[in-house]
A and B are shown apart, each in its own frame.
Chain A
Amino acid sequence: EDQVTQSPEALRLQEGESSSLNCSYTVSGLRGLFWYRQDPGKGPEFLFTLYSAGEEKEKERLKATLTKKESFLHITAPKPEDSATYLCAVLNTGGFKTIFGAGTRLFVKA
């Protein structure tokens, strides 16, 4: 069964304190792994798609990496505006069903 597990459930950082969020996945065949950001009361907002092990993508203070079993979202020198829930999801090779993890709630204190 396809499954996505994110850890930790919640993470509290001081402004400037770098850290990483983890996304472990099992899928029959990976077509893509996605990271989304979700602010309270809003729909998820797309950040990255990763397709194969070894791939990396960056956007401002965020960097996503992918291995055959997990993905990491590295946050470098976070700011309070980075506070949000970060969601990981996988799309299987059928290309039609997306499985989401439960998310990591990130709090960045000034």
Chain B
Amino acid sequence: EAQVTQNPRYLITVTGKKLTVTCSQNMNHEYMSWYRQDPGLGLRQIYYSMNVEVTDKGDVPEGYKVSRKEKRNFPLILESPSPNQTSLYFCASRALGGGDNEQFFGPGTRLTVL
């Protein structure tokens, strides 16, 4: 089954404790992206990656890091989480060129930073 997986699905942590949210896709997609979703603000893009070792900032990259060492994986790293990073996070992937350019989304990770 074609899918995007994220782990963990739920996470409660404390300010300053480094964490990583993993994302993996099995569709051989070149493009992967991270979003955060907050009430009233919709989905905002954090970082995206066009391919292995190619990443770029989205609209809200502050406080986040990413890496793309393998095509299927795109982890999101919070080096020193703060309460304003409490949010619902989604990873997505899509193929580049052809098709409907649609993104496939993971199930989401709900993060709470105390």
Q: Which residues of B contact A32 (CB under 8 A)?
A: 100-101
- Identify the A interface with B (CB < 8 A): 4, 31-32, 34, 41-46, 48-49, 87, 89, 91, 95-103
User: Is the beta-carbon distance between B106 and A43 smaller than 8 angstroms?
Assistant: yes
Q: Which residues of B contact A96 (CB under 8 A)?
A: 31, 48, 50, 56
Q: Mostly helix, strand, loop or mixed at chain A's interface?
A: strand
Q: Which residues of A contact B101 (CB under 8 A)?
A: 31-32, 34, 49, 91, 95
- Known interface pairs A43-B90, A44-B90, A96-B48; A87-B43 also in contact (CB < 8 Å): yes
**How far, in angstroms, from A45 to B108 measured CA to CA in the complex?**
12
Q: Which residues of A contact B40 (CB under 8 A)?
A: 102
**How far, in angstroms, from A99 to B44 measured CA to CA in the complex?**
7
Q: Mostly helix, strand, loop or mixed at chain B's interface?
A: strand
Closest 5 CB pairs of A and B: A43-B105, A46-B102, A102-B42, A100-B43, A49-B100
Q: Mark B28-60, 1 if CB is under 8 A from A, else 0.
A: 000101010000111111001010000010110
User: Is the beta-carbon distance between A98 and B50 smaller than 8 angstroms?
Assistant: no
Other-chain residue from B102, B105, B108 in contact with A49 (beta carbon distance below 8 A):
B102
B106 to chain A, nearest CB (A): 6
Q: Which residues of A contact B92 (CB under 8 A)?
A: 43
**How far, in angstroms, from A49 to B94 measured CA to CA in the complex?**
13
User: Is the beta-carbon distance between A46 and B100 smaller than 8 angstroms?
Assistant: yes
- Known interface pairs A87-B43, A97-B58, A102-B41; A45-B105 also in contact (CB < 8 Å): yes
* Chain A, residue nearest B107 (CB): A43
